[in-house]
Chain A
Amino acid sequence: MWRDAVLVAGKDLRVEARSRVGINQVVPFALLVLVVFAFALDSDRGTLVSFGPGLFWVTVLFSGLLAVQRSFVIESDDDARDALRLSGLDGAGIFLGKAGAVAAQLLLLEVVLTLGVVVLYGVQLRGPVMLLLTCLAATIGLAAAGTLYGAIAAGLRVRDTLLPLLVLPVLAPVLLAAARACEAALAGAPAEGWPWVRLLFVFAIIYVTFGVVAFGPLLEEA
Chain B
Amino acid sequence: MTISPSSASTSSRTVRILGWLTAISLALTAVMALVISPRDVNMGDSVRLLYLHVPTAWLAMYVSFGITTLASVLYLWKRTRSRFWDLTAGASAEIGVLFLGLTLLIGSIWGRITWGVWWTWDARLTTTAVLFVLYVGYLAVRKVPAAPEVQSRRAAIVAVAAFLDVPIVHFSVEWWRTLHQDATVLSDRRLLDPQIGGTMAWTLFLGVVAFTLLYCWLMAHRFRLAWLEDRLADRAMQVAIDERRAEAGVGAGGTKKAGVS
How many residue pairs, one in A and one in B, have C-beta atoms under 8 Å apart?
Answer: 85
Cβ of B154 under 8 Å from chain A? yes
Question: Which of A156, A173, A199, A207 is most buried by chain B, counting CB atoms within 10 A of its CB?
Answer: A173
**Contacting pair B130 A169 (CB below 8 A):** yes
**Contacting pair B158 A166 (CB below 8 A):** yes
Q: Which residue of B lies closest to A202 (CB)?
A: B168
Cβ of B32 under 8 Å from chain A? no
**Contacting pair B149 A222 (CB below 8 A):** yes
The residue that B154 contacts in the complex, of A172, A202, A206, A218, with Cβ under 8 A, is: A218
Which residues of B lie under 8 Å from residue A168 when comparing CB positions?
A: 133
A13–chain B nearest beta-carbon distance, Å: 26
The residue that A162 contacts in the complex, of B141, B150, B153, with Cβ under 8 A, is: B141
Which residues of A lie under 8 Å from residue B157 when comparing CB positions?
A: 148, 152, 214, 217-218
Known A-B contacts A169-B165, A173-B169; A221 and B147 likewise in contact (beta carbons under 8 Å): yes
CA distance in complex: A170, B147 (Å): 25
Which one of B48-56, B170-178, B243-251 contacts A? B170-178
CA distance in complex: A127, B259 (Å): 75
CA distance in complex: A157, B168 (Å): 31
B173–chain A nearest beta-carbon distance, Å: 7
Cβ of B19 under 8 Å from chain A? no
- Write the A187-221 contact mask toward B (1 if CB under 8 angstroms, else 0): 00000100110010011001100100010011001
User: Which chain B residues in 173-200 approach chain A with CB under 8 Å?
Assistant: 173, 175-176, 179
Which residues of A lie under 8 Å from residue B173 when comparing CB positions?
A: 173, 176
Question: Which of A148, A172, A203, A214 is most buried by chain B, counting CB atoms within 10 A of its CB?
Answer: A172
Question: Which of B134, B150, B154 is most buried by chain A, counting CB atoms within 10 A of its CB?
Answer: B154
- Write the B126-139 contact mask toward A (1 if CB under 8 angstroms, else 0): 00001001101100
**Contacting pair A222 B158 (CB below 8 A):** no
Which residues of A lie under 8 Å from residue B134 when comparing CB positions?
A: 169-170
**Contacting pair B161 A210 (CB below 8 A):** yes
**Contacting pair A195 B175 (CB below 8 A):** yes
CA distance in complex: A192, B180 (Å): 13
A183–chain B nearest beta-carbon distance, Å: 11
Known A-B contacts A180-B176, A218-B154; A165 and B164 likewise in contact (beta carbons under 8 Å): no
Known A-B contacts A156-B145, A165-B137, A202-B168; A217 and B76 likewise in contact (beta carbons under 8 Å): yes
Cβ of A96 under 8 Å from chain B? no
Cβ of B144 under 8 Å from chain A? yes
Which residues of B lie under 8 Å from residue A165 when comparing CB positions?
A: 133, 136-137, 140
CA distance in complex: A157, B165 (Å): 26
B176–chain A nearest beta-carbon distance, Å: 6
CA distance in complex: A32, B153 (Å): 38
Cβ of A158 under 8 Å from chain B? yes
- Write the B109-138 contact mask toward A (1 if CB under 8 angstroms, else 0): 000000000000000000000100110110
Known A-B contacts A162-B140, A169-B133, A173-B169; A152 and B176 likewise in contact (beta carbons under 8 Å): no
Cβ of B226 under 8 Å from chain A? no
CA distance in complex: A169, B147 (Å): 26
Cβ of B146 under 8 Å from chain A? yes
Cβ of B160 under 8 Å from chain A? yes
A178–chain B nearest beta-carbon distance, Å: 10
Which residues of A lie under 8 Å from residue B161 when comparing CB positions?
A: 145, 148-149, 170, 207, 210, 214
Q: Which residue of A lies closest to B164 (CB)?
A: A206
CA distance in complex: A172, B76 (Å): 26
Give B contacts to A, CB under 8 Å.
76, 130, 133-134, 136-137, 140-141, 144-147, 149-150, 153-154, 157-158, 160-162, 164-165, 168-169, 171-173, 175-176, 179
Give A contacts to B, CB under 8 Å.
145, 148-149, 152, 155-158, 162, 165-166, 168-170, 172-173, 176-177, 180, 192, 195-196, 199, 202-203, 206-207, 210, 214, 217-218, 221-222
With A158-B145, A176-B173 already in contact, 8 other A-B pairs whose C-beta atoms are closer than 8 Å: A145-B161, A152-B154, A152-B158, A162-B137, A199-B168, A199-B172, A207-B161, A207-B164
* A–B Cβ pairs within 8 angstroms, 8 of them: A155-B146, A166-B137, A169-B130, A169-B134, A199-B171, A207-B161, A221-B153, A222-B147
